[in-house]
Amino acid sequence: MENESSKQIMSVWRSFNREYANRSMAVDMEYANQKAANIFCPGFSYHYIIDFSNPKDFFYLSPSVENVLSVSRMQFTLSNMLDRIHPKEVKHVVRCEELINEMMFKKLQLDQLTQYKFTYNFRIRHEDGSYRLILHQAMVVSQDGFGRPSHVLSVDTVIDHLISSNNYSLSVIGFDGAPSYLGIKVSQPHYLVLSSSFEQLFSERELEIIRRFAEGHTANTVAALLNISNGTVRTHRQNVLKKSGCPNMTGLVAKCIREGLI
């Protein structure tokens, strides 16, 4: 049974997917799991897939939700997850989902949707009654014959060890040369602005270095993953810290999250 929070959010999804009724699309689970593995996760996380032809419950839910929220995976429904969102942040989540829908259908090219990641923050209730600050990341992993989103993969990661409050913004991050829209303040009427001066400080390689450090890798493992020398990694690290004005990589990662850059 849907409560008020889940009703508001699901109504956004249903508003643009009414034509999907009785439509069943396939999703490549190996491809979806690969996407989940490649998404930036700076902490404990769980992931799930929603079928937008019938967004009543999870199409798939990872077992790790039990470690993150201390809930039974078998009893954890989509409505239950949405109703755990902090009451003061439901409006923010609804607005973010509205803007994502609008961007997918009015701003972005449908044949390029799988090249984008949509991300924003919200607080969700743990089973012990406390709230965890979550970095929500979502990607389209299958489309129908008209290019419309069919299955969407989401990864929710605990980040309250990095930042203490919600930035109340939305970022649309493009890959493979696609443009990004970062730090969109969803409460403002003119939100579709190409972001931000902070992003423009860094090269693509430097952003990759930052993301690898954010995932918890050392300089040595970053070098091995990117097939570059340890000295090159150290040089990149020094450069990004100097450009950002941050004293260390932990501070830089936190700033990048606040800016919606990763």
pLDDT at 69: 96
Chain CA centroid to CA 206, Å = 20
Q: Could you give the 3-state DSSP secondary structure of residue 65? A: helix
- 199-258 CATH: 1.10.10.10
Residue ranges for the chain with pLDDT beneath 50: 1, 19-22, 191, 193-195
Could you tell me the pTM of the whole model? 0.69
Tokens standing for 255? Answer: 């700033």
pLDDT at 20: 46
pLDDT at 64: 93
pLDDT at 29: 63
pLDDT at 34: 58
Q: Hey, which CATH number is domain 4-185, 3.30.2130.10, 3.40.920.10, 3.30.450.20, 3.30.465.10? A: 3.30.450.20
For residue 169, the cross-strand partners are 185
Q: Say if residues 136 and 154 touch (Cβ distance below 8 Å).
A: yes
Alpha carbon distances (Å) from 8 to 83, 108, 120, 205: 10, 24, 17, 40
Q: Where are the domains of the chain?
A: 4-185, 199-258
Half-sphere exposure of 220 (CA within 13 A, CB side): 0
pLDDT at 133: 95
Q: Could you give the 3-state DSSP secondary structure of residue 62? A: coil
pLDDT at 22: 47
For residue 60, the cross-strand partners are 49
The strand ranges marked E within 98-202 are 116-125, 131-143, 149-158, 169-174, 181-185
Nearest of 74, 71, 72, 94 to residue 82 by alpha carbon: 94
For residue 22, the cross-strand partners are none
**Spatial CB neighbours of 45, under 8 Å, sequence gap ≥ 6:** 64, 68, 155, 156, 157, 158
